[in-house]
Amino acid sequence: MKVSFIGSGNVASHLAMACKNANLTVVDICSVNIEHAKDLANKCDARAINSVHQLNKNIDLLIISVNDDALTEIAHQLKNTNIPVVHTAGSVNAKVLVEVANDYGVLYPLQTFSKSKTVELTNVPFFVEASTKQFESNLARLVEKLGAKFQVANSEQRLHLHIAAVFACNFSNYMYTVAKELTDQHKLPFDALKPLIIETAEKIASLSPSEAQTGPAKRHDVNTLQKHLQALSYKPNYYELYKLISEEIQKNQNS
Amino acid sequence: MKVSFIGSGNVASHLAMACKNANLTVVDICSVNIEHAKDLANKCDARAINSVHQLNKNIDLLIISVNDDALTEIAHQLKNTNIPVVHTAGSVNAKVLVEVANDYGVLYPLQTFSKSKTVELTNVPFFVEASTKQFESNLARLVEKLGAKFQVANSEQRLHLHIAAVFACNFSNYMYTVAKELTDQHKLPFDALKPLIIETAEKIASLSPSEAQTGPAKRHDVNTLQKHLQALSYKPNYYELYKLISEEIQKNQNS
């Protein structure tokens, strides 16, 4: 199976490496930034190009992993090339690729990828949408080769999955960022919070998040909430965030 | 070493069981709710009582684990009993116990405890404050027996640690709660988010939270942010939360 990539960001990098490790042939890595393309292409024995017009058309699948904003423009450039094509964006409709080929769709890995950390794809669910049943089977085979988990979702379901993932991943990570800034500011060891962060995430395997909820807001511990808000008053944005989320936790509990 | 507990909530339950498992003698479990006291006392071969006046004074340590709001009242009831005493609250000054005994202090385990899930105390940091060096050594020995990690923090440092823990644990758990509600509402599998939640937490072992940040806000992906806000417009509190945290992520990145 021969695949090419447009994009050289976090998702493209992890998927291209996963393809190589699964013994697929990675043909082209295309990126407007040729240096980025070269870096990734070197790692997966591919060719680096910086224009979609240079793409080798003799491939089984083209995977587009670019900023959601850039996707429409690239789809336009690829019009009628008839290369089987998917994008990897959670919140972009599959239809954006309808004029590229008969076989078009989406391959959305529900995971967070940072370039400097390897991610095991085992158990990672890939949500797939395809224009035909045959193309869906081809994509299922690819997901299986990568060792990941195949699931089907249409564009609307994928949008809601993406929003849920933003809360579960991007926003919880931002909460860690605030915690780190608070410990740094008071010369306290952020490392001391790491077992807590892991336990909080692991709890969800056996408890629902609302069962797992602890803390002063959940306990309606008014004195502590007041002390915390007072201690945060020097930092208005953290104060607001603390107040809003605590109120939400208390509302949620009562509902 | 003989210890007793006032309180029968999440923290008291986990610490009492950990004491029993470490072959310490748990003497009394005191709770205004005698049924709760009995439940816990049965599990750790202790006596259940519902008034502090019934406490056996021939013990090495009394651990008070109650709502922060109830602590002042209990300290008042224990005035001059002279039993070595600690509380476990992150945000209450050690001084609240100054009139109870010469040996008073705080034993603050930086962890999230839910009754229905066992927590391994290995690597859990216990932040200790003590009125005397000798009492601090006694508490260090206890922490060691529990297999946990001994660290010293004064009341002000502990307050800031507690606030950081609220963000890192209670608030990230609330983000999981929102994610679950969104997937439930659209009949999508919340389980699909679990590998993502674990990976997000595990990333922090090797990357700082700001390095680990991903998602549409971080990428300044304006189209996606707009789509998500539009999709959340039916749920004003999630809309506000999404908007506020996305703005914070973008500000944080620029600073």
Question: Model ipTM?
Answer: 0.93
Does B236 reach chain A within 8 Å, measured CB to CB?
A: no
Those residues whose C-beta lies under 8 Å from the C-beta of residue B23, and which sit 6 or more positions away, are: none
Candidates A10, A113, A199; nearest CB to B112: A199
B/e letters for B105-134, b = 16+ CB within 10 Å, e = fewer, are bbbbbbbbbbeebebebeebbbbbbbbeee
Read off the pTM: 0.93
Does B229 reach chain A within 8 Å, measured CB to CB?
A: no
List the Cα angle A75/A52/A4 in 5-degree steps.
90
**Residue A123, pLDDT score:** 83
Does B115 reach chain A within 8 Å, measured CB to CB?
A: no
Query: Measured between beta carbons, which residues in chain B are less than 8 angstroms from residue A213?
Result: 170, 173-174, 177
Does B88 reach chain A within 8 Å, measured CB to CB?
A: no
> With contact defined as beta carbons under 8 Å apart, do B212 and A111 qualify?
no
Nearest of A92, A181, A144, A204 to residue B199 by alpha carbon: A204
Query: Measured between beta carbons, which residues in chain B are less than 8 angstroms from residue A244?
Result: 240-241, 244
Q: What is the pLDDT of residues A13-55, one digit of tens each?
A: 999 999 999 999 999 999 999 999 999 999 999 999 999 999 9
Does B25 reach chain A within 8 Å, measured CB to CB?
A: no
Q: What is the pLDDT of residues B3-57, one digit of tens each?
A: 999 999 999 999 999 999 999 999 999 999 999 999 999 999 999 999 999 999 9
Query: Do B165 and A193 count as a contact with CB atoms less than 8 A apart?
Result: yes
Q: What is the pLDDT of residues B70-97, one digit of tens each?
A: 899 999 999 999 999 999 999 999 999 9
What is the nearest CA distance from A30 to chain B, expressed in angstroms? 20
Does A178 reach chain B within 8 Å, measured CB to CB?
A: yes
